Structure 1
Amino acid sequence: MSEETEGVRLQKVLAAAGVASRRASEILIEEGRVEVNGQVVTEQGRRVNPDRDQIRVDGSRIPPPRRHQYLVLNKPRGVVSTMDDPEGRPTLSEYLPRTAQRLFHVGRLDTDTEGIIILTNDGEFAHRLAHPSYEVPKTYFVQAAGVMDNHAVKRLAKGVRLDDGPVKPDKVKLISRGKDATLLEITIHSGRNRVVRRMMDTVGHPVDRLGRTGIGPVRLGNLPVGEVRDLTREELGALLDLVGL
Protein backbone atom coordinates (compact mmCIF):
# COMPACT_ATOMS: atom_id res chain seq x y z
CA MET A 1 0.00 0.00 0.00
CA SER A 2 1.45 3.40 -0.94
CA GLU A 3 2.12 6.18 1.54
CA GLU A 4 -0.52 8.26 -0.24
CA THR A 5 -3.29 5.72 0.38
CA GLU A 6 -2.30 4.76 3.90
CA GLY A 7 -1.37 8.25 5.06
CA VAL A 8 1.77 10.00 6.22
CA ARG A 9 3.42 9.60 9.60
CA LEU A 10 2.32 12.39 11.91
CA GLN A 11 5.84 13.43 12.91
CA LYS A 12 6.76 13.75 9.24
CA VAL A 13 3.77 16.04 8.64
CA LEU A 14 4.75 18.23 11.59
CA ALA A 15 8.34 18.44 10.42
CA ALA A 16 7.28 19.30 6.86
CA ALA A 17 5.04 22.06 8.23
CA GLY A 18 8.01 23.60 10.01
CA VAL A 19 6.69 22.92 13.51
CA ALA A 20 9.84 21.15 14.68
CA SER A 21 12.36 18.56 13.56
CA ARG A 22 11.06 15.03 13.19
CA ARG A 23 12.66 13.97 16.48
CA ALA A 24 11.34 17.04 18.29
CA SER A 25 7.91 16.34 16.80
CA GLU A 26 8.05 12.84 18.27
CA ILE A 27 8.66 14.42 21.67
CA LEU A 28 5.64 16.71 21.19
CA ILE A 29 3.54 13.62 20.46
CA GLU A 30 4.92 11.79 23.51
CA GLU A 31 4.02 14.76 25.69
CA GLY A 32 0.41 14.71 24.51
CA ARG A 33 0.63 18.11 22.86
CA VAL A 34 -0.63 16.99 19.44
CA GLU A 35 -4.26 16.44 18.44
CA VAL A 36 -5.72 14.89 15.31
CA ASN A 37 -9.38 15.62 14.65
CA GLY A 38 -9.92 16.62 18.27
CA GLN A 39 -8.23 13.56 19.81
CA VAL A 40 -4.87 13.67 21.58
CA VAL A 41 -2.35 11.37 19.89
CA THR A 42 0.49 9.93 21.96
CA GLU A 43 1.52 6.88 19.95
CA GLN A 44 4.37 7.21 17.49
CA GLY A 45 3.86 6.28 13.85
CA ARG A 46 0.24 7.44 13.65
CA ARG A 47 -0.59 7.99 10.01
CA VAL A 48 -2.72 10.92 8.92
CA ASN A 49 -4.01 12.56 5.78
CA PRO A 50 -2.58 16.09 6.00
CA ASP A 51 -5.09 17.40 3.45
CA ARG A 52 -8.16 16.18 5.34
CA ASP A 53 -7.25 15.69 8.99
CA GLN A 54 -7.26 18.64 11.38
CA ILE A 55 -3.95 18.66 13.23
CA ARG A 56 -3.16 20.88 16.21
CA VAL A 57 -0.10 21.45 18.36
CA ASP A 58 -0.74 23.06 21.74
CA GLY A 59 -4.18 23.95 20.42
CA SER A 60 -2.92 25.81 17.35
CA ARG A 61 -4.10 24.60 13.95
CA ILE A 62 -1.43 23.28 11.59
CA PRO A 63 -2.70 24.03 8.07
CA PRO A 64 -2.44 21.41 5.33
CA PRO A 65 0.43 21.54 2.82
CA ARG A 66 -0.01 24.63 0.69
CA ARG A 67 -1.54 23.96 -2.69
CA HIS A 68 -2.40 27.64 -3.08
CA GLN A 69 -0.89 31.05 -2.45
CA TYR A 70 -2.01 33.24 0.45
CA LEU A 71 -0.56 36.75 0.44
CA VAL A 72 -0.97 39.89 2.54
CA LEU A 73 -0.59 43.28 0.84
CA ASN A 74 -0.39 46.66 2.54
CA LYS A 75 -2.44 48.51 -0.07
CA PRO A 76 -1.50 52.15 -0.59
CA ARG A 77 -4.08 54.92 -0.81
CA GLY A 78 -5.15 55.66 -4.37
CA VAL A 79 -4.93 52.02 -5.50
CA VAL A 80 -8.17 50.39 -6.68
CA SER A 81 -9.03 46.96 -5.31
CA THR A 82 -8.96 45.21 -8.68
CA MET A 83 -6.34 43.35 -10.67
CA ASP A 84 -6.83 45.57 -13.74
CA ASP A 85 -8.58 48.88 -14.36
CA PRO A 86 -9.92 50.17 -17.69
CA GLU A 87 -9.37 53.74 -16.50
CA GLY A 88 -5.67 53.13 -16.05
CA ARG A 89 -5.58 53.69 -12.31
CA PRO A 90 -3.02 51.81 -10.19
CA THR A 91 -4.21 48.31 -9.22
CA LEU A 92 -3.30 45.54 -6.81
CA SER A 93 -1.51 43.58 -9.52
CA GLU A 94 1.22 46.20 -9.68
CA TYR A 95 2.33 45.31 -6.14
CA LEU A 96 2.51 41.54 -6.50
CA PRO A 97 5.77 39.65 -7.04
CA ARG A 98 6.43 38.30 -10.52
CA THR A 99 6.35 34.79 -9.08
CA ALA A 100 2.75 35.24 -7.86
CA GLN A 101 0.21 32.92 -9.39
CA ARG A 102 -3.09 34.17 -10.78
CA LEU A 103 -4.61 35.65 -7.63
CA PHE A 104 -7.79 37.43 -6.63
CA HIS A 105 -8.43 39.70 -3.69
CA VAL A 106 -10.61 38.74 -0.72
CA GLY A 107 -13.10 41.55 -0.24
CA ARG A 108 -12.30 45.12 -1.13
CA LEU A 109 -10.86 48.33 0.24
CA ASP A 110 -12.02 51.72 -0.99
CA THR A 111 -9.57 53.42 -3.30
CA ASP A 112 -8.88 56.08 -0.67
CA THR A 113 -8.46 53.50 2.13
CA GLU A 114 -5.07 51.94 2.79
CA GLY A 115 -4.06 48.83 4.63
CA ILE A 116 -4.29 45.08 4.75
CA ILE A 117 -5.87 43.05 1.96
CA ILE A 118 -5.52 39.29 1.44
CA LEU A 119 -4.95 37.78 -2.00
CA THR A 120 -5.21 34.11 -2.85
CA ASN A 121 -6.08 31.57 -5.54
CA ASP A 122 -7.96 29.36 -3.04
CA GLY A 123 -11.57 29.93 -4.09
CA GLU A 124 -13.38 28.29 -1.18
CA PHE A 125 -11.13 30.00 1.37
CA ALA A 126 -11.71 33.39 -0.28
CA HIS A 127 -15.47 32.85 -0.48
CA ARG A 128 -15.79 32.00 3.19
CA LEU A 129 -13.43 34.71 4.38
CA ALA A 130 -15.49 37.34 2.56
CA HIS A 131 -18.93 35.90 3.39
CA PRO A 132 -20.79 37.83 6.12
CA SER A 133 -22.09 34.64 7.76
CA TYR A 134 -18.58 33.88 9.09
CA GLU A 135 -18.39 37.31 10.75
CA VAL A 136 -14.66 37.73 10.29
CA PRO A 137 -13.69 40.87 12.23
CA LYS A 138 -11.71 43.66 10.57
CA THR A 139 -9.78 46.29 12.49
CA TYR A 140 -9.35 49.87 11.26
CA PHE A 141 -7.25 52.85 12.25
CA VAL A 142 -9.42 55.94 11.91
CA GLN A 143 -8.39 59.58 11.81
CA ALA A 144 -11.63 61.51 12.21
CA ALA A 145 -12.26 65.20 11.70
CA GLY A 146 -12.84 67.25 14.84
CA VAL A 147 -12.51 66.43 18.51
CA MET A 148 -14.94 63.69 19.51
CA ASP A 149 -16.36 64.07 22.99
CA ASN A 150 -17.13 61.06 25.19
CA HIS A 151 -20.78 61.14 24.17
CA ALA A 152 -19.91 60.76 20.47
CA VAL A 153 -17.49 57.90 21.20
CA LYS A 154 -20.09 56.08 23.31
CA ARG A 155 -22.76 56.63 20.66
CA LEU A 156 -20.47 55.09 18.06
CA ALA A 157 -19.67 52.13 20.32
CA LYS A 158 -23.36 51.43 21.00
CA GLY A 159 -24.11 51.33 17.29
CA VAL A 160 -25.77 53.66 14.81
CA ARG A 161 -28.50 53.39 12.22
CA LEU A 162 -27.45 53.76 8.59
CA ASP A 163 -29.67 54.02 5.53
CA ASP A 164 -29.34 50.25 5.02
CA GLY A 165 -29.99 49.31 8.65
CA PRO A 166 -28.35 49.44 12.07
CA VAL A 167 -24.72 48.53 12.60
CA LYS A 168 -22.75 48.01 15.80
CA PRO A 169 -18.96 47.77 15.95
CA ASP A 170 -17.36 44.95 17.90
CA LYS A 171 -15.02 47.39 19.61
CA VAL A 172 -14.23 51.10 19.62
CA LYS A 173 -11.00 52.27 21.22
CA LEU A 174 -10.16 55.96 21.62
CA ILE A 175 -6.46 56.40 20.90
CA SER A 176 -6.04 60.16 21.19
CA ARG A 177 -7.65 63.56 20.72
CA GLY A 178 -5.76 66.33 18.96
CA LYS A 179 -6.53 69.98 18.32
CA ASP A 180 -8.69 69.24 15.29
CA ALA A 181 -8.72 65.43 14.93
CA THR A 182 -9.51 62.24 16.83
CA LEU A 183 -7.74 58.91 16.42
CA LEU A 184 -9.73 55.71 16.93
CA GLU A 185 -9.34 51.97 16.48
CA ILE A 186 -12.56 50.33 15.32
CA THR A 187 -13.15 46.59 14.98
CA ILE A 188 -16.22 45.51 13.03
CA HIS A 189 -17.34 42.37 11.21
CA SER A 190 -19.88 44.03 8.92
CA GLY A 191 -18.82 43.93 5.28
CA ARG A 192 -21.19 46.64 4.09
CA ASN A 193 -19.89 49.19 1.61
CA ARG A 194 -17.90 52.07 3.18
CA VAL A 195 -19.42 51.14 6.54
CA VAL A 196 -16.78 52.78 8.76
CA ARG A 197 -16.92 56.03 6.82
CA ARG A 198 -20.71 56.10 6.98
CA MET A 199 -20.69 55.37 10.71
CA MET A 200 -18.34 58.26 11.32
CA ASP A 201 -20.47 60.57 9.17
CA THR A 202 -23.50 59.62 11.27
CA VAL A 203 -21.84 60.74 14.52
CA GLY A 204 -20.70 63.99 12.90
CA HIS A 205 -16.98 63.24 12.55
CA PRO A 206 -16.14 62.37 8.94
CA VAL A 207 -13.06 60.27 8.20
CA ASP A 208 -9.95 62.16 7.14
CA ARG A 209 -7.84 59.03 6.83
CA LEU A 210 -8.68 55.34 7.10
CA GLY A 211 -6.51 52.25 7.17
CA ARG A 212 -7.33 48.60 7.79
CA THR A 213 -4.81 47.10 10.18
CA GLY A 214 -6.22 43.61 10.75
CA ILE A 215 -8.37 40.83 9.31
CA GLY A 216 -9.25 38.27 11.97
CA PRO A 217 -5.95 37.18 13.57
CA VAL A 218 -3.84 38.69 10.77
CA ARG A 219 -2.19 42.01 11.60
CA LEU A 220 -0.45 44.46 9.32
CA GLY A 221 2.38 44.91 11.80
CA ASN A 222 5.41 46.64 10.30
CA LEU A 223 4.74 45.60 6.68
CA PRO A 224 5.65 48.71 4.64
CA VAL A 225 3.06 50.36 2.40
CA GLY A 226 3.06 48.69 -1.02
CA GLU A 227 4.85 45.57 0.24
CA VAL A 228 3.56 42.00 0.24
CA ARG A 229 4.25 38.91 2.34
CA ASP A 230 2.99 35.34 2.74
CA LEU A 231 0.50 34.49 5.44
CA THR A 232 2.36 32.74 8.25
CA ARG A 233 1.53 29.16 9.21
CA GLU A 234 -0.10 30.42 12.42
CA GLU A 235 -2.18 33.03 10.60
CA LEU A 236 -3.40 30.60 7.95
CA GLY A 237 -4.25 27.96 10.55
CA ALA A 238 -6.25 30.49 12.60
CA LEU A 239 -8.11 31.74 9.51
CA LEU A 240 -8.98 28.17 8.44
CA ASP A 241 -10.49 27.64 11.90
CA LEU A 242 -12.34 30.95 11.72
CA VAL A 243 -14.05 30.04 8.42
CA GLY A 244 -14.63 26.36 9.24
CA LEU A 245 -12.16 24.75 6.84
Structure 2
Amino acid sequence: MSDKIRLQKFLAQCGICSRRKAEEYIQQGDVTVDGVIIHEMGVTVVPGISEVSFKGKVVAEKEPPVYYLLNKPRGYVTTLKDPQGRPIVTALITDCPLRLFPVGRLDFDTEGALLLTNDGNLAQKIQHPSHITDKTYEALVRGNPNDSALQRLEKGVMIEGKMTSPARLRRLAKKGGNTLVEIVIHEGRKHQVKKMFAHIGHPVIALKRTAYGKLRLGKLGIGKYRLLSSADINRIFL
Protein backbone atom coordinates (compact mmCIF):
# COMPACT_ATOMS: atom_id res chain seq x y z
CA MET A 1 0.00 0.00 0.00
CA SER A 2 1.20 3.50 -0.78
CA ASP A 3 2.35 5.75 2.06
CA LYS A 4 0.23 8.64 3.22
CA ILE A 5 1.30 12.14 2.17
CA ARG A 6 -0.06 15.58 2.98
CA LEU A 7 -2.79 16.80 0.69
CA GLN A 8 -0.94 19.92 -0.43
CA LYS A 9 2.11 17.84 -1.37
CA PHE A 10 -0.08 15.48 -3.39
CA LEU A 11 -1.59 18.39 -5.32
CA ALA A 12 1.87 19.72 -6.09
CA GLN A 13 3.13 16.31 -7.26
CA CYS A 14 0.17 16.09 -9.63
CA GLY A 15 1.15 19.39 -11.20
CA ILE A 16 -1.89 21.33 -10.02
CA CYS A 17 0.06 24.10 -8.29
CA SER A 18 2.78 24.78 -5.72
CA ARG A 19 2.37 23.54 -2.16
CA ARG A 20 1.79 27.08 -0.92
CA LYS A 21 -0.88 27.71 -3.52
CA ALA A 22 -2.44 24.35 -2.66
CA GLU A 23 -2.88 25.51 0.92
CA GLU A 24 -4.83 28.51 -0.35
CA TYR A 25 -7.06 26.31 -2.49
CA ILE A 26 -7.71 24.00 0.45
CA GLN A 27 -8.68 26.91 2.70
CA GLN A 28 -11.03 28.17 -0.04
CA GLY A 29 -12.82 24.81 -0.17
CA ASP A 30 -11.67 23.99 -3.72
CA VAL A 31 -10.40 20.52 -2.77
CA THR A 32 -12.31 17.41 -1.77
CA VAL A 33 -11.05 14.05 -0.50
CA ASP A 34 -13.38 11.11 -1.02
CA GLY A 35 -16.22 13.53 -1.60
CA VAL A 36 -15.61 15.61 1.54
CA ILE A 37 -14.64 19.28 1.19
CA ILE A 38 -11.39 19.98 3.03
CA HIS A 39 -10.69 23.34 4.67
CA GLU A 40 -7.94 22.60 7.19
CA MET A 41 -4.26 21.78 6.80
CA GLY A 42 -2.76 18.48 7.92
CA VAL A 43 -5.07 16.16 6.00
CA THR A 44 -3.23 13.21 4.47
CA VAL A 45 -4.13 11.07 1.46
CA VAL A 46 -3.02 7.74 0.06
CA PRO A 47 -2.05 8.09 -3.63
CA GLY A 48 -3.95 5.59 -5.73
CA ILE A 49 -6.48 4.98 -2.97
CA SER A 50 -7.88 8.36 -1.91
CA GLU A 51 -10.01 10.18 -4.49
CA VAL A 52 -8.88 13.79 -4.58
CA SER A 53 -10.75 16.40 -6.63
CA PHE A 54 -9.80 19.98 -7.43
CA LYS A 55 -12.62 22.30 -8.45
CA GLY A 56 -14.78 19.30 -9.26
CA LYS A 57 -12.24 17.37 -11.33
CA VAL A 58 -10.49 14.23 -10.11
CA VAL A 59 -6.75 14.69 -9.66
CA ALA A 60 -4.34 11.94 -10.68
CA GLU A 61 -0.61 11.59 -10.09
CA LYS A 62 1.59 12.33 -13.06
CA GLU A 63 3.09 9.25 -14.62
CA PRO A 64 6.88 9.27 -14.75
CA PRO A 65 8.04 9.90 -18.33
CA VAL A 66 9.43 6.84 -20.08
CA TYR A 67 10.97 6.44 -23.51
CA TYR A 68 11.47 3.32 -25.60
CA LEU A 69 13.22 2.74 -28.90
CA LEU A 70 11.52 -0.04 -30.86
CA ASN A 71 12.75 -1.74 -34.01
CA LYS A 72 9.32 -1.90 -35.62
CA PRO A 73 8.64 -4.95 -37.78
CA ARG A 74 6.66 -4.77 -40.99
CA GLY A 75 3.01 -5.63 -40.55
CA TYR A 76 2.31 -3.38 -37.55
CA VAL A 77 0.42 -0.09 -37.53
CA THR A 78 1.64 2.92 -35.56
CA THR A 79 -1.74 3.82 -34.11
CA LEU A 80 -3.30 3.00 -30.74
CA LYS A 81 -6.09 1.00 -32.35
CA ASP A 82 -6.89 -0.21 -35.83
CA PRO A 83 -10.43 -0.67 -37.21
CA GLN A 84 -9.10 -3.40 -39.52
CA GLY A 85 -7.82 -5.38 -36.56
CA ARG A 86 -4.18 -5.26 -37.60
CA PRO A 87 -1.53 -5.56 -34.86
CA ILE A 88 -0.44 -2.30 -33.21
CA VAL A 89 3.11 -1.35 -32.21
CA THR A 90 2.32 -0.72 -28.54
CA ALA A 91 1.50 -4.43 -28.17
CA LEU A 92 5.20 -5.15 -28.68
CA ILE A 93 6.15 -3.33 -25.43
CA THR A 94 5.25 -6.09 -23.00
CA ASP A 95 6.81 -4.95 -19.71
CA CYS A 96 5.56 -1.37 -19.31
CA PRO A 97 2.28 -0.79 -17.40
CA LEU A 98 2.04 2.84 -18.56
CA ARG A 99 0.02 3.98 -21.56
CA LEU A 100 2.46 4.65 -24.39
CA PHE A 101 1.99 6.17 -27.82
CA PRO A 102 4.23 6.25 -30.90
CA VAL A 103 6.05 9.46 -31.87
CA GLY A 104 5.18 10.00 -35.51
CA ARG A 105 4.43 7.12 -37.83
CA LEU A 106 5.99 4.40 -39.88
CA ASP A 107 3.96 2.83 -42.66
CA PHE A 108 2.48 -0.64 -42.21
CA ASP A 109 5.12 -2.07 -44.57
CA THR A 110 8.03 -0.02 -43.19
CA GLU A 111 10.30 -1.22 -40.41
CA GLY A 112 12.88 0.36 -38.16
CA ALA A 113 13.37 2.95 -35.43
CA LEU A 114 10.21 4.09 -33.68
CA LEU A 115 10.01 6.01 -30.42
CA LEU A 116 7.24 5.22 -27.95
CA THR A 117 6.61 7.36 -24.89
CA ASN A 118 4.03 8.85 -22.54
CA ASP A 119 5.71 12.27 -22.78
CA GLY A 120 3.62 14.54 -25.00
CA ASN A 121 6.07 17.42 -24.69
CA LEU A 122 8.92 15.38 -26.17
CA ALA A 123 6.70 14.09 -28.97
CA GLN A 124 5.71 17.63 -29.87
CA LYS A 125 9.32 18.80 -29.81
CA ILE A 126 10.45 16.04 -32.16
CA GLN A 127 7.63 16.59 -34.64
CA HIS A 128 7.34 20.39 -34.53
CA PRO A 129 8.78 22.16 -37.61
CA SER A 130 10.72 24.60 -35.40
CA HIS A 131 12.92 21.74 -34.17
CA ILE A 132 15.05 20.21 -36.91
CA THR A 133 15.31 16.52 -36.11
CA ASP A 134 17.11 14.38 -38.68
CA LYS A 135 15.60 11.02 -39.55
CA THR A 136 17.77 8.49 -41.37
CA TYR A 137 16.35 5.80 -43.63
CA GLU A 138 17.71 2.96 -45.71
CA ALA A 139 15.68 2.62 -48.90
CA LEU A 140 16.00 -0.29 -51.28
CA VAL A 141 14.97 1.28 -54.58
CA ARG A 142 14.33 -0.17 -57.98
CA GLY A 143 17.15 0.22 -60.46
CA ASN A 144 20.30 2.26 -60.04
CA PRO A 145 19.67 6.01 -59.62
CA ASN A 146 22.48 8.04 -61.13
CA ASP A 147 24.25 10.99 -59.51
CA SER A 148 21.99 13.48 -61.24
CA ALA A 149 18.85 11.85 -59.85
CA LEU A 150 20.20 11.75 -56.29
CA GLN A 151 21.33 15.37 -56.56
CA ARG A 152 17.76 16.36 -57.42
CA LEU A 153 16.61 14.84 -54.14
CA GLU A 154 19.44 16.53 -52.27
CA LYS A 155 18.32 19.93 -53.55
CA GLY A 156 14.60 19.27 -53.13
CA VAL A 157 11.82 18.20 -55.48
CA MET A 158 8.22 19.30 -55.93
CA ILE A 159 5.80 16.85 -54.31
CA GLU A 160 2.09 17.63 -54.23
CA GLY A 161 2.70 21.32 -54.84
CA LYS A 162 5.40 21.79 -52.23
CA MET A 163 9.18 21.52 -52.41
CA THR A 164 10.89 19.06 -50.13
CA SER A 165 13.70 20.39 -47.96
CA PRO A 166 17.29 19.50 -48.89
CA ALA A 167 18.21 15.90 -48.08
CA ARG A 168 21.46 13.98 -47.72
CA LEU A 169 21.91 10.79 -49.72
CA ARG A 170 24.55 8.14 -50.33
CA ARG A 171 24.56 4.77 -52.03
CA LEU A 172 25.20 1.89 -49.65
CA ALA A 173 25.15 -1.15 -51.91
CA LYS A 174 23.88 -2.69 -55.12
CA LYS A 175 21.49 -5.62 -54.68
CA GLY A 176 20.92 -7.36 -57.98
CA GLY A 177 19.32 -4.79 -60.25
CA ASN A 178 18.37 -2.59 -57.28
CA THR A 179 20.19 -0.14 -55.00
CA LEU A 180 20.28 0.42 -51.25
CA VAL A 181 20.38 4.16 -50.56
CA GLU A 182 20.71 6.01 -47.27
CA ILE A 183 18.61 9.19 -47.08
CA VAL A 184 18.49 11.72 -44.25
CA ILE A 185 15.56 14.13 -44.03
CA HIS A 186 14.08 16.25 -41.26
CA GLU A 187 10.54 16.65 -42.56
CA GLY A 188 7.73 14.32 -41.63
CA ARG A 189 5.36 14.47 -44.59
CA LYS A 190 3.24 11.40 -45.22
CA HIS A 191 5.01 8.74 -47.32
CA GLN A 192 7.69 11.33 -48.04
CA VAL A 193 10.66 9.05 -48.77
CA LYS A 194 8.57 6.81 -51.03
CA LYS A 195 7.22 9.81 -52.93
CA MET A 196 10.68 11.33 -53.33
CA PHE A 197 12.15 8.21 -54.94
CA ALA A 198 9.04 7.67 -57.04
CA HIS A 199 9.48 11.24 -58.30
CA ILE A 200 12.87 10.38 -59.80
CA GLY A 201 11.64 7.10 -61.27
CA HIS A 202 13.14 4.71 -58.72
CA PRO A 203 10.28 3.49 -56.51
CA VAL A 204 10.98 2.11 -53.05
CA ILE A 205 10.88 -1.66 -52.66
CA ALA A 206 11.65 -1.76 -48.93
CA LEU A 207 12.16 0.98 -46.35
CA LYS A 208 13.74 1.05 -42.91
CA ARG A 209 14.30 3.97 -40.53
CA THR A 210 17.66 3.58 -38.83
CA ALA A 211 18.01 6.69 -36.66
CA TYR A 212 16.47 9.74 -35.03
CA GLY A 213 19.25 12.33 -34.98
CA LYS A 214 22.24 10.47 -33.53
CA LEU A 215 20.06 7.89 -31.77
CA ARG A 216 20.59 4.79 -33.87
CA LEU A 217 19.04 1.34 -33.91
CA GLY A 218 22.45 -0.29 -33.81
CA LYS A 219 22.11 -4.03 -33.22
CA LEU A 220 18.56 -3.87 -31.85
CA GLY A 221 16.72 -6.82 -33.39
CA ILE A 222 13.47 -6.55 -35.33
CA GLY A 223 10.58 -6.48 -32.88
CA LYS A 224 12.92 -5.75 -29.96
CA TYR A 225 13.05 -2.58 -27.89
CA ARG A 226 15.09 -0.88 -25.21
CA LEU A 227 14.42 1.68 -22.51
CA LEU A 228 16.12 4.99 -23.26
CA SER A 229 18.16 7.15 -20.88
CA SER A 230 18.26 10.94 -20.80
CA ALA A 231 21.58 10.73 -22.68
CA ASP A 232 19.84 8.71 -25.41
CA ILE A 233 17.10 11.34 -25.69
CA ASN A 234 19.71 14.09 -26.03
CA ARG A 235 21.21 12.25 -29.03
CA ILE A 236 17.97 12.81 -30.95
CA PHE A 237 18.69 16.54 -31.09
CA LEU A 238 22.42 16.45 -31.86
User: What's the offset of the Cα at 1:98?
Assistant: 3.2
Question: What letter corresponds to residue 165 of structure 1 in structure 2?
Answer: K
Shift of 1:135: 1.7
- In structure 2, the residue matched to 1:82 is 79
**1:153–1:174 Cα contact (<8 Å) kept:** no
Match of 2:108 in 1: 111
Distance 1:169 1:224 in 2: 31
- Structure 2 alignment gaps of length 5 or more: 1-62
Structure 1 gaps, min length 5: 1-65
Is 2:92 aligned against 1:92?
no
**Partner residue of 1:128?**
125
Residue 156 of structure 1 deviates from its aligned partner by 2.1
State the AA in 2 paired with 1:202: H
> Any conservation in 1 of the 2:138–2:207 contact (CA below 8 Å)?
yes
Q: Kindly report the root-mean-square deviation, in angstroms, between the aligned alpha carbons of the 2 structures.
A: 1.9
Q: Determine which structure has more spread, i.e. the larger CA radius of gyration.
A: 2
**Which residue is equivalent to 2:161?**
164
The percentage of counterpart residues that share the same residue type is: 40
TM superposition shift of 1:170: 3.1
2:190 aligns with 193
Which residues in structure 2 correspond to 1:1-245 (within 5 Å)?
67-239=64-236, 242=237
Whole-angstrom distance in 2 between the partners of 1:225 and 1:100: 22
Q: Is the 8 A contact 2:90 2:101 kept in 1?
A: no
TM-score, normalised via structure 1 length: 0.68
Provide runs of 4+ in structure 1 moved above 6 Å: none
Deviations 1:197-245 (A, max 9, x none): 0000000000000000001121011111111111133212344xx39xx
What is the CA distance between 1:126 and its match in structure 2?
Answer: 1.2
Corresponding pairs, count: 177
Decide whether the 8 Å contact of 2:153 with 2:167 is kept in 1: no
CA contact (8 A) 1:169 1:186 kept: no
CA distance in 2, matches of 1:159, 1:235: 30
* Contact preservation (8 Å) 1:74, 1:114: yes
